[in-house]
Structure 1
Amino acid sequence: MSRRRSIRWVLFVLFVVVPLLELYVLIQVGQVIGAWWTILLLVLDSILGTWLIRREGSRALAALRTALETGRMPARELADGGLLLIGGTLMLSPGFVTDVFGILLILPFTRPVFRRVLTRVVAARLIVTATGPSAQRGPDAQRPGPGSEGPVVRGEVVDDP
């Protein structure tokens, strides 16, 4: 039940708090530098984000190809790709707050911090899944075939010539 509450809380923050915060910041910036300068700053911010996504996306794709060609598991490269995707999505929404978070996810020197956070979140989800109700029944709970209480027929395999 607490997991459902936390999802509701996250959705509330994403769909209510973040847009209100964006609106507040846009109004404050507009009052300080003017409406047209605010719009120009948002356009320049989008251009910078597009350039960053292209540059870092091509680097991440090259690193992914290298990892696959060398036979290495591309965990880091896949995490970087996911962070770039989230950062690019944040850059699509108009506003300074989401753009700042998007740029932080995209920049190569701040991405390792978020990669560690992503790794912890995924690891925590995997541990919760592994210790869930189905895992508590034991390792033989999902094993097909007769259980320990079923009949055991002993025999040998004979090849027919």
Structure 2
Amino acid sequence: MFRRLMILFFIVPIVELSLIFLLAHWIGWGFTLLVTLLSSVIGAYLARRSWHRWWDQVKREWAFEGFPVHRLGEGAILVAAMAFLVTPGPLTAVTGILFTIPKVREAGSKWLVRWLSHRVVERWWWRS
């Protein structure tokens, strides 16, 4: 796991820089910086709006049904979206903006919960 994270931490910045240089070559440095800045600002707005909607939904479900565990995956994806949107670069901006879309977030949440539950069962349940 550590090796995969280290590879990811080396590959993502290289890809981001390559995309920035490619974008600057096509549209110029001024527009590249403007697009990067605008994507961060628009993404931060979308993330904040999505976060408030998600939190209102959690509070509503909590009042009627109890703690909505199934919404925790969506919250984790929104936190990741915010981290991606703070990071400058076209790849992370697109990924962060995609994570703010409710349908993408729901699908990602289902996959995340399924993956985590399999990991927990494999590691702790079957060993005892």
TM-score by length of 2: 0.92
**In proportion to residue count, which structure has more helix?**
2
Pair member with larger Rg: 1
Unmatched 5+ stretches in structure 2: none
> Within 5 Å, which residues of 2 pair with 1:1-161?
7-128=1-122, 129-132=124-127, 135=128
- Asked whether the equivalents of residues 81 and 96 of structure 2 are also in contact (C-alpha less than 8 Å), the reply is yes
Identity %: 27
Unmatched 5+ stretches in structure 1: 1-6, 136-161
Pick 1 or 2: higher relative contact order, CA cutoff 8 A, min separation 6: 2
- Asked whether the equivalents of residues 74 and 108 of structure 2 are also in contact (C-alpha less than 8 Å), the reply is no
Cα displacement string for residues 30-80 of structure 1 (whole angstroms, at most 9, x for unaligned residues):
100000100000111011111111111111100110111113341232221
Structure 1 segments (4+ residues) deviating >2 Å: none
- Asked whether the equivalents of residues 30 and 38 of structure 1 are also in contact (C-alpha less than 8 Å), the reply is yes
Corresponding pairs, count: 127
Distance 2:110 2:3 in 1: 23
TM-score by length of 1: 0.74
CA shift, 1:24, in A, is 0.5
Partner amino acid, structure 2, of 1:30 = A
Distance 1:127 1:23 in 2: 39
RMSD: 1.3
Distance 2:70 2:45 in 1: 22
